[in-house]
Amino acid sequence: MTGTALAVGRRRHAGPRLVRLHLTSRQVPGGLALLAGCAVLLRVALHLHWMPDDGAAARQTLLLIECAAASVVAVAARTPFGESERATGPRLPVLRLAASLLLTAAAAGSLALGAAAARVPGGALGLLRDVPGLAGIGLIAAAALGGALAWTGPLAYTVLAELALMDGWRTPWTWPARPAHDAGAWWCAALAFAAGTALVAARGPRDTGGDG
Amino acid sequence: MSAVPAPARGGRRPLGRRIPDVWTRAGGRLLRLELRRNTMMWMVPLALLAFWLDTYRSSMALSPLWSSRTLILRQGAAVDDFAPFAVGAAAWVGGRDRRRGIVEQVDITALPRWAGRAATWAATAGWALGAYLACVGFLYGAIAWQGAAGSPPWWPVVVGAVALVACSSLGFALGVLVPSRFTAPLAAVATALVLRQTLRSGGRYVLLSPVASPAYSLAPPKPDAGVFYPYLPDLSLTQLLFLGGLAVAALGALGVQAVCGAAGLRRLAAAVTAVGLASCGTAVALIGTARVEANGVVVPALHDAADDRPLTYTPVCGGRRIRICLHPVYQAYLPTLTAALDPLLREVAGLPGAPVRVDQVALSGARAPLAGADVGGDPPVAHLALDIGYDGAMWMGPSPAGQALPRRCCTSEQMWTSVPYVTAEVLPPVAGAILDRLVGHADPAQQAVVEGLLRASGVPLDSMASAARIDGSPIGLPQPGTPAHAAGERCAALSANARHAWLTAHLADLRGGRVTLEQLP
Amino acid sequence: MNIEITDLTRRFGRTRAVDGVDLRTGTGVFGLLGPNGAGKTSLLRMLATVIPPSSGSMRLLDLDPARHGPRREIRRRLGYLPQNLGYYPGFTVVEFVEYFALLKEMPPREVPRAVAAAVERVGLGDRAKAKLRTLSGGMLRRAGIAQAIVNEPRLLLFDEPTAGLDPEQRVEFRSLLRELGRTSTVVVSTHLVEDVGAACAEVALMHQGRIAFQGTPDELVARGAGHGTGDAPLERGYSAVLAAVRV
């Protein structure tokens, strides 16, 4: 057996191996650590009463933490491989979809965990709606601008949603400003998430060359 | 052949000569290149949108006075709008070389890496600063074009500009030192969070932040800053020291790495960092000595005593029997104010001890109610402080705990030119101060007369109770169903002339507590 | 025929990077020559199904890459080394090659053996466990070649494959090309005419998006007889063809 063969070893489970390599190349482990950091930050913010009520200011703080989590999901879409990866088979869209879903679930889940047994402005349900919606915006930005700049989408949307919170906008498109029971807001967030994941899965983040 | 004087031997060359021409030329060209292709350029539309939705719209909802319309800017809203984008873009640009895999290519160029990085940072900060100044310029232009009274404050503009430069520097340094794909978004969000938290904090050192909360800050922006007294620059100067220090320290940190050039240059960079940190430390020490006074924050080491002298002005006056005199900046509101206060002033005019004039004075206290009044002097003069500030604007910061966001009905200008609004908001505290001085509030007869006069003047008694709760007004009104309440109603039902005649005859006794309820008409 | 393209055009805005190219080739090594900006990389990217053509028809491995199902089948049997190789610096050589093997839907049981073989074929056996960030430019290029050949593709596309390789490695690579060319169609885009002369059975010379010459290396050498400038016969042929189309 050659040295290379030894290095490769015998791996029977190709699927998990591929998923692991794909997630590693997207720096998903680092992303998960940062999502855990977001959860800790949320916990600290709740503990220190940075969000004492359901007011606009409290929800703005929560929204910013949600934005950080969504940015991690969006930026993780960036691929280091470029065209050599794009010229491969149909497993890639599935992997992209899985990575997006996994990270979004991790983002929403970690924040929900961070807020466990505490009162979250707007309610924990709102958190589960807002994070995937923001992640969807980030993934759309990744498809349009490239993975590296994908964070600008959630950030710009957050600024808009902050204004919507302060000004009491009623449109469901600024879903973080709507109460958790607003069905329209749920639909809009779901649509943004579906569009983002579908775009990134099918097309991948925009190839921006060396700067991508 | 012409004689050219030889330079003195051993003389020091001017600084400009000591920097090699090739560096200055290369630096200039590099800056031009960076300016053309800088990422911050693409962030500008987002920042402009935030500025328009937030700072511009809110400012324009306020009264057309320089002191009012710049409240939102003085609160730091524009910095809040721009900073996350500036930090994010700067961090992204800072990590660019690593992302593109050209670190070694650029590290080995003749131009010192510090200069190269500085050029890249300058382009990033330049775009952020240019966009900010253009926005503020547009806002100031719009305010001036609408003929706002007063004069524009420039210190907040400078503080905002330096704050953005500091944000860019910190973001850029972070991008250079931690070139991860996650750096830019997290830096942007962290900046927004830090600014948001300083809005919720009221500590002394939070005053160094470029954003200030109208609800929590120890020294929220005053709606009449620069009107009665000169604009106090002490806090702005301290903020500039702090923010400028942060910017300089971050820029210095870009040049201390081994790849950044010769040892001498790196020592210079370290010295620059030290100077920046010293500047920050000085600012922190200075703010530790600051006092919050009626006119704003006083930093003893920076304070100019001349700023404590009131500005001279010729008041504009209106009203018939008792003149109401306002600062000329507020001239536009004189007719509304005169109309709103006239029923009260008509009732008390000519009574012994009644004020001979109502003078507008500067606001005192960090969070004044919309209007406050007291009466003093001999002959007595009523002093009226008007807070023509946020009311009617979109609420920018966190509301005090337990309070819901106020619903807006109209702009501040619409409110302050509405007689019913001014009657509801200004008349009660003025009536409270004048009638308390004139009649007193100790015994039931005094309370009954006060109630009668309030009813006769059209003062909403509910507002009176609210005013008493908010500013601790001594006015106590009789409870319904009591003899004093009935006497107050009787007093209000008298004709104005009969009431005036009775008060003229009995006011001294009433004030001295020598009139009983039964003796009232 | 593994590659059949007719009147293939690719526009980027107003620029026609590839302008009405016709090409048919089967098994063997096919060299693609041309000056900078001639359209070689754009043609290769279309063949790699990375970008679609603006117009014209293309069949690869007797399949239509415009349709989803056939494109999937082509990609299973395709190897592509782009001009700018993207890589994740934290991967080892083996992980990098294995990742592409799995993406190309190789049967899982075959992956370890195929990865080991590909890494050995490019001479990186002793660096199999090294992280990509620790490799030299030439070694990275070889890792890129390994990921391209790991699935034993029927259609191999190399864009400047020998850039950064030392002379010894270039010789070995040419030998590898000849070996691959026995069973597959290998398209090599390069500036180095000696690579073409040593390894290619057929060559095309592109200029301004069009094919200015197509034939064997010997025919290209013949074009240069008494014409052109250059140190080697192929270089003279290259210069002569370009001089003729530029007139």
pLDDT in tens, B251-270: 999 988 877 777 888 899 99
Count contacts between A and B (CB, < 8 Å).
Answer: 109
What's the pLDDT at C59?
94
Using one digit for the tens of pLDDT, what is the confidence trace for C40-70? 999 999 999 888 999 999 999 999 998 888 8
Give the neighbours of chain A: at least 3 Cβ pairs within 8 Å. B, C
Domain segments of chain B as ranges: 18-308, 316-395+412-519
pLDDT for residue B81 is more than 60: yes
The superfamily in CATH containing domain C3-77+155-246 is P-loop containing nucleotide triphosphate hydrolases (3.40.50.300)
Distance from chain centroid for Cα B520: 50
Residue C82 at interface with chain A, using a CB cutoff of 8 Å: yes
| Cβ contacts of A92 on chain C, cutoff 8 Å | 103
Integer Cα distance of B205 and B286 in angstroms: 10
Q: Which of C76, C82, C105 sits opposite A82 (nearest CB)?
A: C82
Q: What residues of chain C score a pLDDT lower than 50?
A: none
Across chain C, how many H-helices and E-strands are there?
9, 9
Integer Cα distance of C194 and C198 in angstroms: 6
| Cβ contacts of A84 on chain C, cutoff 8 Å | 80-82, 85-86, 100, 144, 147-148
In this structure, the number of other CB atoms found within 10 A of the CB of residue C181 comes to 19
Buried-exposed string C16-43: b where 16+ CB fall within 10 A, e elsewhere: bbbbebebebebbbbbbbbeeebbbbbb
| Contact of C70 with A89, CB cutoff 8 Å | no
Q: List the structure tokens of B204.
A: 């002394």
Mean pLDDT along residues A176-189: 92
| Cβ contacts of B398 on chain A, cutoff 8 Å | 55-58
Integer Cα distance of B121 and B454 in angstroms: 65
Say what percent of chain A tops pLDDT 70.
92
| Cβ contacts of A155 on chain B, cutoff 8 Å | 46, 84-85, 88, 185, 188-189
- List, as ranges, residues 74-93 from A with C-beta within 8 Å of B: 74-76, 78
Rounded to whole angstroms, what are the CA distances from B99 to B90, B102, B178, B407?
Answer: 14, 8, 11, 48
Which residue of chain B comes nearest to A78, CA vs CA? B181
Strand ordering across the sheet containing C78-81: C78-81, C155-159, C185-189, C28-33, C202-207, C210-215
Count contacts between A and C (CB, < 8 Å).
Answer: 119
What's the pLDDT at A147?
82
For residue B426, the one-letter residue type is V
Instruction: For residue C215, list its beta bridge partners.
Output: C203
- List, as ranges, residues 69-108 from B with C-beta within 8 Å of A: 81, 84-85, 88, 92, 96, 99-102
Q: List the structure tokens of B358.
A: 């109502």
Q: CA angle B360-B337-B348, nearest 5°?
A: 80
B226 backbone φψ class: left, alpha, beta (φ>0; ψ -120 to 50) = left
A48 backbone φψ class: left, alpha, beta (φ>0; ψ -120 to 50) = alpha
| Cβ contacts of A95 on chain C, cutoff 8 Å | 103
Integer Cα distance of B39 and B284 in angstroms: 33
Residue A36 at interface with chain B, using a CB cutoff of 8 Å: no
Q: Are strands C3-12 and C55-60 parallel, antiparallel or unpaired?
A: antiparallel
For residue A21, the one-letter residue type is L
Q: List the structure tokens of B245.
A: 């220090």
| Contact of A64 with A158, CB cutoff 8 Å | yes
pLDDT for residue B7 is more than 60: no
For residue C109, the one-letter residue type is R
- Residue B431's closest CA among B519, B301, B343? B343
Rounded to whole angstroms, what are the CA distances from B10 to B3, B16, C244?
Answer: 21, 17, 66
Residue B178 at interface with chain A, using a CB cutoff of 8 Å: no
Say what percent of chain A tops pLDDT 90.
54
ipTM of model over 0.85: yes
pLDDT for residue B457 is more than 80: yes
Determine the distance in angstroms separating the CA of C113 from the nearest CA of chain A, rounded to an integer: 7
> Best-predicted range by mean pLDDT among B7-16, B227-236, B374-383?
B227-236
Residue A46 at interface with chain B, using a CB cutoff of 8 Å: no
**3-class secondary-structure state, position B194:** helix
Which residue of chain B comes nearest to A167, CA vs CA? B394
Q: In B290-408, which ranges are continuous DSSP H helix?
A: 334-348
In this structure, the number of other CB atoms found within 10 A of the CB of residue C247 comes to 5
Distance from chain centroid for Cα B121: 30
Interchain CB distance below 8 Å, B46 and A156: yes
What's the pLDDT at B403?
43
Interchain CB distance below 8 Å, A158 and B184: no
Residue A62 at interface with chain B, using a CB cutoff of 8 Å: no
Mean pLDDT along residues B132-150: 94
Interchain CB distance below 8 Å, A83 and C45: yes
Give the neighbours of chain B: at least 3 Cβ pairs within 8 Å. A
Residue C63 at interface with chain A, using a CB cutoff of 8 Å: no
Integer Cα distance of B489 and B456 in angstroms: 9
CB pairs under 8 A, 24+ apart, for C70-74? Answer: C72/A89, C72/A90, C74/C49, C74/C155
Dihedral sign, Cα of residue A148, residue A153, residue A156, residue A159: negative
Residue A48 at interface with chain C, using a CB cutoff of 8 Å: no
Rounded to whole angstroms, what are the CA distances from C160 to B13, B319, C26, C136, C190?
Answer: 53, 90, 21, 17, 5
Maximum Cα–Cα distance across chain B = 115
Integer Cα distance of B169 and B87 in angstroms: 8
| Contact of B362 with B387, CB cutoff 8 Å | no
Q: List the structure tokens of A19.
A: 């998923």
Mean pLDDT along residues B323-351: 89
Using one digit for the tens of pLDDT, what is the confidence trace for A93-116? 999 999 999 999 999 999 999 988
Residue B216 at interface with chain A, using a CB cutoff of 8 Å: no
Going by pLDDT thresholds of 50, 70 and 90, the confidence category of residue B466 is low
Determine the distance in angstroms separating the CA of B136 from the nearest CA of chain A, rounded to an integer: 19
- Residue A210's closest CA among B304, C26, B103, B262? B103
Which residue of chain A comes nearest to B396, CA vs CA? A166
| Contact of C93 with C143, CB cutoff 8 Å | yes
Residue C128 at interface with chain A, using a CB cutoff of 8 Å: yes
Integer Cα distance of B56 and B264 in angstroms: 47
Determine the distance in angstroms separating the CA of A81 from the nearest CA of chain B, rounded to an integer: 13
Q: Which of A61, A155, A166 sits opposite B193 (nearest CB)?
A: A61
| Cβ contacts of C95 on chain A, cutoff 8 Å | 21, 24
Q: Are strands B291-293 and B296-298 parallel, antiparallel or unpaired?
A: antiparallel
pLDDT for residue B85 is more than 60: yes
- Residue ranges, comma separated, of all CATH 3.40.50.300 domains in chain C are 3-77+155-246
Integer Cα distance of C34 and C213 in angstroms: 10
Say what percent of chain B tops pLDDT 90.
33
Backbone angles phi, psi at A181, to 5 degrees: -90, 5
The number of residues in chain C equals 247
